[in-house]
Amino acid sequence: MRTIKLLGFLLTYPDQDHTKVVEDAAGILESEKWISQQTIERLLDALQAFRSRSILDIQEEYVALFDRTPSLSLHLFEHIHGDSRDRGQAMVDLMQVYEDAGLFIDHDEMPDYLPLFAEYLSTLSTEEASDNLGSVVNILSSIAERLKNRDSFYASIFDALIETAARQPDKEAVAKFLESASGEAPSFQELDTAWEEQFAFDNQSLEGGQGTGDCPKIRDMLDRMNDVTNQERA
């Protein structure tokens, strides 16, 4: 499925290759028709940023959003497990899923990196890929809304991913995510506070933070992962 692979690629660090891919995006999206024509048109309109802006400006925006704003992280497990020990085990489990599918990471990136996950999903059937995206749809939706708060064209890419998911986002769960973080760039004081919170001795996910909610373990993707949320509620 080239649609989801394309969407994942568009979320990688931008370079000149992105400009070239944008030129072929319409053909890919319209040939597979995995997302609606209306969404395709909105996405293609948003992707004009790769033609109208300098690549340096887009790179600067990318870093400010996804590298410097924790609530916009492209690493899925950061939104589920935070920096608890459970995240490490989840990484191991996900790596095994990739290897079982005959896929091996050939660059320096964590297995829960969304573009990498999207590339894995592109090897599955449409139904399987849609089910897996459904298990993280609340995370995708919260990131999309935060990107809209930052007036970023990247929000359209997330909207397209959300449309391919097997279920709709839970509005209440997404609202809770947005209450905890709007997507605005954190202040230096907030960064210091977040750094201190990472070293809590009990290694539990923070209640009310992004480690809790409606995405306990990406259950449709991995049957083998621990249901962290249910353990916390027990």
Residue 140, C-beta contacts closer than 8 angstroms, at least 6 positions apart? 133, 158, 161, 162, 165, 169
Count of domains for the chain:
1
Higher pLDDT, 136 or 77: 136
Residue whose C-alpha is closest to residue 218's, from 132, 156, 142: 132
DSSP state, 72? G
Spatial separation of the C-alpha atoms in residues 55 and 215, rounded to whole Å? 34
State residue 233's pLDDT score: 39
Q: Is the pLDDT of residue 212 over 60?
A: no
Summary mean pLDDT of the chain? 80
Residue 7, C-beta contacts closer than 8 angstroms, at least 6 positions apart? 118, 157, 160, 161
Range of the structural domain that residue 61 is part of: 2-233
| Stretch (H or E) spanning 119 | helix 114-121
Contact 96, 134 (CB under 8 A): no
Higher pLDDT, 234 or 78: 78
Q: Is the pLDDT of residue 57 over 90?
A: yes
